[in-house]
Amino acid sequence: MSLSLAWIEWRRLMRTPLAWGSLAICLCLLSWQFLGTLESFSGMQTTHRALGLSHHLSLQIYGLAAVLILLITPILTTRVFSESFRNGSYALLSSAPLSNLTILAGKFLAVVSFLCLIALIPLLLCLSLFTGTQLDLGLLLAATLGLLLLSGCFTGIGLYFSALSENPGIAAAASYGVLMLFSLLDQHTQTSSFIHWLAWPSHYLDLQLGLVRLSDIAYFMLLALFFLGLALHRLDRRRRG
């Protein structure tokens, strides 16, 4: 049932100009970054090349892709609950024979599968180089996995704040705030190592460098599950009023 709800939500999302607009913008920006990276790499002298092309690509393009996903996710997730609470369309789901868990899982899958499209753009761009050069496919796949995990994690956070507020503006602002906080947590060296561990950029960097570690994967999953759990609790509370 979650899958058919995810399919319904996906179709609804793909009917909106928002989805196609954000895909187009991401494609333009990532292509621009891709061409820029290629240009600067091919202009470099061989002795100055500390890293290979695969690493250059994964750091530059996948870095930008992560930022784009961070910017897009709250816009998508606020629609999911906040806006549907406000315009009354949530009643359609709450009076249907669906549990809150099914509803949450369906909505989560729909948003994540849309973000997957964006997460696959960098891979497609890099694959276009395979006709002329050798690239480290494993590295690129690891970075893509990183983007997928990041999408799930950001979606979890976004969905929680979306379920928390009936005001889409507040929900989006809160999601941005928390996402930025998790991006900045490792900026200061004085703070404890646990707080450092909470920041996503270092975990994502491992994957960008081709390092697939179980601890990093667990980090993204735990963070996503934690916020999804909170969102589920919130939906139950809402039904109880």
Partner 1 sequence: MLNLLTTNQLSRRFHQVEVVHPLDLALCRGDILGLLGPNGAGKSTILRMICGDLSPSSGSVEICGFDLLQQPRQAKRNIGYLPERPPLHPDQTVDEFLTDSGYLHGLNRSQINRAKTAVKKQCGLEQNGRRLIRKLSKGYQQRVGLAQAIIHDPRLLILDEPTDGLDPSQIRQLRELIKELATDKAVILSSHILSEIQATCNRVAILQQGKSVYNGDITPAEQTGYRLGLEQNPLESEITALPAIASAEQLHTDYFMITLEQGYRPSECLQQLLARGWQVSELSPASRSLEQLFLQATSGGLQ
Largest CA distance in the chain: 66
Q: Is 20 in the site for partner 1 (CB under 8 A)?
A: no
- CA–CA distance, 22 with 45 (Å, rounded to integer): 36
Which residue number, 4 or 134, has a Cβ lying nearer to partner 1? 4
118's tokens: 């964006």
Q: Which burial class, exposed, middle or buried, applies to 208 when counting CB atoms under 10 A from its CB (0-12, 13-18, 19+)? A: buried
Nearer to partner 1, 199 or 235 (CB): 235
**Pattern 50-89, partner 1, x by CB under 8 A:** -------------------------------------xxx
Residue 127's nearest CA partner among 116, 139, 114 is: 139
Residue 111 or 223: the one with the smaller Cβ distance to partner 1 is 111
Among the listed ranges 1-9, 125-133, 183-191, 218-226, the one in contact with partner 1 (CB under 8 A) is 1-9
- Report which of 8, 164, 212 is spatially closest to residue 173, judged by C-alpha positions: 164
| Given 39, 51, 99, 169, the residue binding partner 1 (CB under 8 A) | 99
Interactions with partner 1, residue window 220-239 (CB under 8 A)? 239
Place of tokens 């081709």: 210
67 Cβ contact partners less than 8 Å away, ≥ 6 residues apart = none
Coil, helix or strand at residue 186:
coil
Say how many C-beta atoms besides its own lie within 10 A of residue 124's C-beta: 12
In three-state secondary structure terms, 88 is: coil
CB closer to partner 1 out of 8 and 212: 8
The verdict on 91 binding partner 1 (CB under 8 A) reads yes
Minimal distance, residue 80 CB to partner 1, in Å:
13
Q: Which of 24, 67, 96, 211 binds partner 1 (CB under 8 A)?
A: 96
Query: 43 or 88: whose CB is closer to partner 1?
Result: 88
Task: State the number of binding residues for partner 1 (CB under 8 A).
Answer: 25
In the complex, least distance from residue 108 CB atom to partner 1, rounded to whole angstroms: 17
Q: Which of 24, 67, 92, 137 binds partner 1 (CB under 8 A)?
A: 92
- Span of 12-20, 29-37, 154-162, 206-214 interacting with partner 1 by CB under 8 A: 12-20
| Contact residues for 5 (Cβ-Cβ < 8 A; gap 6+) | 93, 98, 102, 103, 105, 106, 107, 110
- Residues near partner 1 (CB under 8 A) are 1, 4-5, 7-8, 11-12, 15-16, 87-99, 239-241
